[in-house]
Amino acid sequence: MTMVRAGVVPGRRAMFYGIAGLLVTSGIVAATVGVFGLNRLFTGILLGVAAGVGVLFLLFARDGVVLTDQSIVRRTPWGAATIDWNRVVAGRFALDEKSRWSLALDLNGGDEQHGELVLLSIPPVQRPIANAYDMRKREQVNEIRSILRRKQIPVILLPEIAEALTQHWRLAPPTR
């Protein structure tokens, strides 16, 4: 069974996660100082930062999209929704409103905002792979394209994106 993790956390939800992390951090600092006194401020800060980072990690790790051969699962920390592959009209690799490259699925029916599900949002590729982030994003693009190809879902790709992916990341252009 093939499973691909993707997904973009919307800005509003990311801000909520950040606020939750700050609240946990400040709560633990306040509780530590309240119980043990001001002499344990540094200990409270260490414990609070560790707990706050842990909360952030858990929230961001739970939020995402999982593509499997059977369905697409859109997960948030408080639930999950399954989307059938027969709802996917096409894949689209284009520029988003922030001049980043966005790989999204166009959906028919359902209640998703604007009928799309954003899988990736990456900065434009302008050079060969230079670091682990580039390598991971290249792998994700390749895995998503493979599963879409197996599901026979057409992918609309802007020519400049196709050229950059071929030239810099050595990803072959789509065959259709």
Q: β-pairing, 155-157 with 88-95?
A: parallel
Scanning the structure block, which residue is given the tokens 């260490």? 46
Whether 139 shows a pLDDT value over 70: the answer reads yes
Residue 137's SS3 state is: helix
Scanning the structure block, which residue is given the tokens 């999982």? 66
Quick check: pTM over 0.95? no
How many other β-carbons are positioned within 10 Å of the β-carbon of residue 138?
A: 19
Who has greater pLDDT, 173 or 36? 36
Most distant pair of Cα atoms in the chain: their distance: 68
* 29-71 pLDDT per residue, tens: 999 999 999 999 999 999 999 999 999 999 999 999 999 989 9
- Architecture of the domain delimited by 70-169: Roll (2.30)
Residue 88's SS3 state is: strand
What tokens appear for 23 in the block? 């609240």
